């Protein structure tokens, strides 16, 4: 028997002991999440079916709203009432914030038995663990510095994928001249901030780190930040009149239907293109936001587990184990548009955008150019993120000038710290 087989058997035995055998009638997970778009629902179904095949039933608690703000509000109400759901989709610093309040569960037994430490990148572990304990199971890695372009609209605009800001602007101008909305966008603070993530990163990895992560007042208020807001103002000129409040997946639909040329959005957008039967390279093209190739702003969806009664703990552990199964990581992320949270999952089942996503993530991790996404709660805690959202959105809507925005941003961050 090989060492690997023995290890596998030992891990299996430990898990069986831990979860006292197979699921029994009554093993159920109530899951709070915000995966309500077509592509997201298809991905969620992969998880539901996987658990059902293991005898764990699913009680759905969907709270619509991209980026998860509404879901977090709903969660607060449940925890305050002393009745948290079994598992909750959560992002970055939100996980840490809950852990600090002492209300989260402990997945360490299963995580240690399965060796998660060795296969989940540190950048993710920083949020999945608190005080040395595993408190959340990462399901994926998304990233925000992508552009999703209609192949037809790109061809009509000359066919060249833009490599830098000037070429991006030239492409958008041609799309405008061709009579379509160049940039599909939904005016919601988290979506405005998703654009901002990419724009700031395009002005340099050092700049992203100093402004979005280290919160250096000079970087937040300086000339480079002014340039970032100048670019945001330019992007605003390519958006249609009805952008306010539009959901992100409806913006994706504009590109899918050929009404718009491109969307700047995280790779959950790919899930919408796939759901609509579109193929990368043929119907749509995925590129890193021009000027950001080699760097990645990431966010990872994790299922955070709360302290629940003993009757529910077994289902929690079974769910966590199912999520970290390499086969599940592949099957789920192929549909979701994200890439696996484990580093040992083969890329064979992924399409070209997925393969690129995996390669880009590995490269950025290696080079030290992998950064948490500010827009999606992985750069700074929610209090500071929300202060940034406010300034970015006011500016995007023309309520704050480009000249004043950097100082406002620095002041908002200072007040929220």
Chain contacts with ligand BGC (rule: CB under 6 A): 34, 40, 66-68, 91, 142, 248, 268, 299, 301, 376
Q: Hey, CA dihedral for 70, 252, 41, 199, is it positive or negative?
A: negative
Q: Which two tokens stand for residue 63?
A: 């709270």
Q: What angle do CA 120, 287, 258 make, to 5 degrees?
A: 125
Q: Residue 62 Cβ, how far from ligand BGC at the closest point, in Å? A: 11
Query: Smaller CB distance to ligand BGC: residue 66 or 340?
Result: 66
Q: Residue 34 Cβ, how far from ligand BGC at the closest point, in Å? A: 5
Query: Smaller CB distance to ligand BGC: residue 142 or 288?
Result: 142
Query: Smaller CB distance to ligand BGC: residue 66 or 290?
Result: 66
Q: Which two tokens stand for residue 121?
A: 């990148």
Q: How far apart are CA 55 and CA 246, in angstroms?
A: 39
Q: How far apart are CA 413 and CA 26, in angstroms?
A: 47
Q: Which two tokens stand for residue 257?
A: 């239907």
Query: Smaller CB distance to ligand BGC: residue 224 or 385?
Result: 385
Q: Residue 402 Cβ, how far from ligand BGC at the closest point, in Å? A: 27
Query: Smaller CB distance to ligand BGC: residue 40 or 227?
Result: 40
DSSP class of residue 158 equals T
Query: Smaller CB distance to ligand BGC: residue 205 or 333?
Result: 333
Q: Residue 138 Cβ, how far from ligand BGC at the closest point, in Å? A: 11
Q: Residue 91 Cβ, how far from ligand BGC at the closest point, in Å? A: 6
Residue nearest to ligand BGC (CB): 268
How far are the Cα atoms of 96, 186, 211, 223 from residue 304, in angstroms, in the given order? 10, 28, 28, 39
Query: Smaller CB distance to ligand BGC: residue 40 or 192?
Result: 40
Q: Which two tokens stand for residue 306?
A: 């709360």
User: 60 — phi, psi (to 5°)?
Assistant: -90, 135
Contact assessment for residue 330 and residue 340, using Cβ atoms and an 8 Å cutoff? yes
Contacts of 169 (CB under 8 A, 6+ apart): 234
Q: Residue 132 Cβ, how far from ligand BGC at the closest point, in Å? A: 26
Q: Residue 156 Cβ, how far from ligand BGC at the closest point, in Å? A: 29
Q: How far apart are CA 134 and CA 307, in angstroms?
A: 13
Q: H/E element holding 193?
A: helix 189-202
> Position of tokens 């080699």?
294
Q: Hey, CA dihedral for 352, 354, 359, 360, is it positive or negative?
A: positive
Q: How far apart are CA 54 and CA 56, in angstroms?
A: 6
Annotate 371-389 with DSSP letters as a single string: EE-TTTTSSS-HHHHHHHH
Q: Residue 235 Cβ, how far from ligand BGC at the closest point, in Å? A: 19
Query: Smaller CB distance to ligand BGC: residue 175 or 251?
Result: 251
Q: Residue 40 Cβ, how far from ligand BGC at the closest point, in Å? A: 5
Query: Smaller CB distance to ligand BGC: residue 248 or 289?
Result: 248
Q: Residue 294 Cβ, how far from ligand BGC at the closest point, in Å? A: 22
Contact assessment for residue 172 and residue 183, using Cβ atoms and an 8 Å cutoff? yes
Q: Burial letters for 141-157: b for 16+ Cβ neighbours within 10 Å, e otherwise? A: bbbbbbbbbbbebbebb
Q: Residue 251 Cβ, how far from ligand BGC at the closest point, in Å? A: 11
Annotate 313-356 with DSSP letters as a single string: HHHHHHHHHHHT-HHHHHHHHHHHS-B-SSTT--STTS-HHHHH
Query: Smaller CB distance to ligand BGC: residue 372 or 406?
Result: 372
Query: Smaller CB distance to ligand BGC: residue 267 or 408?
Result: 267
Q: How far apart are CA 75 and CA 274, in angstroms?
A: 30
Do β-strands 260-264 and 146-150 pair in parallel, antiparallel, or remain unpaired? antiparallel
């Amino acid at each position: 028997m090989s060492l690997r087989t023995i290890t596998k058997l030992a891990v299996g035995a430990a898990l069986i002991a831990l979860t006292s055998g197979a699921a029994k009638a009554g093993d159920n997970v109530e899951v709070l999440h915000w995966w309500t778009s077509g592509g997201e629902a298809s991905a969620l179904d992969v998880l539901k079916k996987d658990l059902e095949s293991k005898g764990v039933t699913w009680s759905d608690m969907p709270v619509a709203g991209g980026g998860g703000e509404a879901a977090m509000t709903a969660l607060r109400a449940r925890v305050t009432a002393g009745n948290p759901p079994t598992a909750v989709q959560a992002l970055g610093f939100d996980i840490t914030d809950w852990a600090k309040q002492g209300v989260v569960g402990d997945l360490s037994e299963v995580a240690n038995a399965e060796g998660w430490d060795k296969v989940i990148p540190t950048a993710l572990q920083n949020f999945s663990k608190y005080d040395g304990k595993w408190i959340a199971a990462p399901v994926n890695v998304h990233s925000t510095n992508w552009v999703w372009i209609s192949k037809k609209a790109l061809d009509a605009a000359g066919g060249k994928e833009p490599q830098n800001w000037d070429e991006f602007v030239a492409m958008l101008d041609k799309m405008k001249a061709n009579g379509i909305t160049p940039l599909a966008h939904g005016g919601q603070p988290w979506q405005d901030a998703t654009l901002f993530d990419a724009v700031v990163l395009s002005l340099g990895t050092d700049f992203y780190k100093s402004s979005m992560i280290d919160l250096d007042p000079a970087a937040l208020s300086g000339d480079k930040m002014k340039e970032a807001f100048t670019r945001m103002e330019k992007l605003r000129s390519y958006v249609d009149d009805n952008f306010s409040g539009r959901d992100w997946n409806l913006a994706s639909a504009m590109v899918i239907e050929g009404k718009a040329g491109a969307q700047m959005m995280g790779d959950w957008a790919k899930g919408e293109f796939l759901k609509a039967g579109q193929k990368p390279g043929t119907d749509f093209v995925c590129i890193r936001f021009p000027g950001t190739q080699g760097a990645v702003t990431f966010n990872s969806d994790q299922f955070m587990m709360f302290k629940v009664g003993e009757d529910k703990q077994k289902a929690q552990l079974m769910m966590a184990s199912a999520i970290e199964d390499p086969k599940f990581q592949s099957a789920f992320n192929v549909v979701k548009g994200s890439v696996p949270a484990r580093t040992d999952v083969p890329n064979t089942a992924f399409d070209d955008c997925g393969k690129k996503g995996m390669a880009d993530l590995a490269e950025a991790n290696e080079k030290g150019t992998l950064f948490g996404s500010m827009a999606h709660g992985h750069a700074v805690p929610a209090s500071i993120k929300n202060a940034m959202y406010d300034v970015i959105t006011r500016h995007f809507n023309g309520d704050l000038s480009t000249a004043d925005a950097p100082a406002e941003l620095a002041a908002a961050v200072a007040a929220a710290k």
